[in-house]
Structure 1
Amino acid sequence: MPPVFSHGDLRLYLLNLLDEAPRHGYDLMQALSDRTGGTYTPSAGTIYPRLAKLEEEGLVTKTVDGRKTVYEITEAGRAEVAARAGDLEGIEAGLADSVRLIADEVRGSVREAMKSLQADLAAAAHSERAGAGKPATPGGSHADDPRVASREQLRRADAALAEFRANIRADMRTHVARGGELTAAVVDELASALDEAARAVIRALHRD
């Protein structure tokens, strides 16, 4: 997945957020998540070193308020934000593009996984119908028993479902681990796709 912020852009964006109001570290992380529609939530290990660097440069100050450390922009920091207004506009535009790409990638992953699941389940249902229509051979061979064939296809369906669950779960966990966050829209789309797949399987099972 492409990074949400290019090199150096996160530093300037943090400064811009502090130009709006003093904030503590968690508040900055939450603000970044909100501004990116939940697709980017940086870790403390990403935010605090940059805040420390801004403090070293004299662009922000920090004060301890109870158990929280609050960061506030200095006049020098405000001057940099003002001087780089054009850069901030470019960051905002690039940020919107990156968020759209990440959302599209997650949705595409869900759709491809659902297509694979639907194909596997449809094939299993077709094989079950074909096996049920075969005449029994003399002696009642287990290989030709429709119930045996159905149980075999059921095992295939179980394996396909398990593989889908493992793959999509791994994709989502990787997305979140890289700083992204699953939005409600993506989860809603996943639920809708699962409902659609279930209906397709039920239709296939009851098709004459």
Structure 2
Amino acid sequence: MPPVFSHGDLRLYLLNLLDESPRHGYDLMQALSDRTGGTYTPSAGTIYPRLAKLEEEGLVTKSVEGRKTIYAITEAGHAEVVARAGDLEGIEAGLADSVRLIADEVRGSVREAMKSLRADLAAAAQAEQGAAKERAQSDDVARADARSASRADAREQVRRAEAIVTDFRTSVRTDLRTHLARGGSLAASVVDDLARSLDDTLRDLARALRR
């Protein structure tokens, strides 16, 4: 995925945030995370050197209040924000596109995982149904053998289903944690879609097992 901010855009966006109100460094980092829907959470090593550069250029000033260093925009900084209003609109549009792209990727991954899980569970249920029919057509000894084989097969299918569910849970957790570690966010609607898909799968399995 391309970077959230292109070259020079972060500098201008920091000026824009300071044009709204004076802020300390952590507040700026949190504001950037909030404005990007959690897709971008900069480090102190990213923010403070840029603030220092803006201060050198006379676009911001800093003052110490207690244990916090507060940054405020200067008249020159405000003039640049006004002059580059069009650029800021483009940056805002790009941020909105990045948030939508992250959400679409998460939803797509969840859908594909759910499709695979439903297919495997349906196959396990169908295998059990076939084994039951074979038992009914055999004589007493064959039925006894078939029942024994069926129980073993059922246990194997249960183990297989459990392994599938475990792999799915591990994959989802890994994907989500990796996504969040990269500065991504997880919208409530995505989790709602996942919950609905899992509910649908449970209902499909219950119907299949009742056959």
TM-score, normalised via structure 1 length: 0.88
The corresponding residue for 2:28 is 28
The corresponding residue for 2:192 is 188
Is this contact kept in 1: 2:39–2:98, CA < 8 A? no
How many Å apart are 1:140 and its aligned residue?
4.9
Mapping 1:76-155, distance limit 5 Å: 76-135=76-135, 138=142, 140-141=144-145, 145-155=149-159
Aligned partners of 1:185, 1:45: CA distance in 2, in Å?
A: 33
1:164 aligned partner, one-letter code? F
Aligned partners of 1:163, 1:118: CA distance in 2, in Å?
A: 14
The corresponding residue for 1:163 is 167
Cα deviation 1:114-162 (Å, max 9, x = unaligned) = 1111111111121222223323664955895211110100111111111
Question: Unaligned stretches of 5+ in structure 1?
Answer: none
Alpha-carbon spacing, 1:14–1:148, altered in 2? closer, same or farther (3 Å): same
How many Å apart are 1:17 and its aligned residue?
0.6
The corresponding residue for 2:40 is 40
Greater than 4 Å deviation, 4+ residue runs: 136-144
Deviates more, 1:188-197 or 1:157-166: 188-197
Deviates more, 1:3-12 or 1:140-149: 140-149
Is this contact kept in 2: 1:38–1:183, CA < 8 A? no
Cα deviation 1:94-131 (Å, max 9, x = unaligned) = 22112111111111111111111111111112122222
Question: Unaligned stretches of 5+ in structure 2?
Answer: none
Given the alignment of the two structures, is residue 56 of structure 1 paired with residue 56 of structure 2, yes or no?
Answer: yes
Alpha-carbon spacing, 1:132–1:51, altered in 2? closer, same or farther (3 Å): farther
Aligned partners of 1:52, 1:187: CA distance in 2, in Å?
A: 40
Is this contact kept in 1: 2:39–2:185, CA < 8 A? yes
Is this contact kept in 2: 1:36–1:99, CA < 8 A? yes
Alpha-carbon spacing, 1:185–1:45, altered in 2? closer, same or farther (3 Å): farther
Cα deviation 1:20-50 (Å, max 9, x = unaligned) = 0011222222222322233333333333332
Identity over the aligned pairs, expressed in percent?
73
How many Å apart are 1:68 and its aligned residue?
2.1
Is this contact kept in 2: 1:128–1:150, CA < 8 A? yes
User: Greater helix share, 1 or 2?
Assistant: 2
Aligned residues: 207
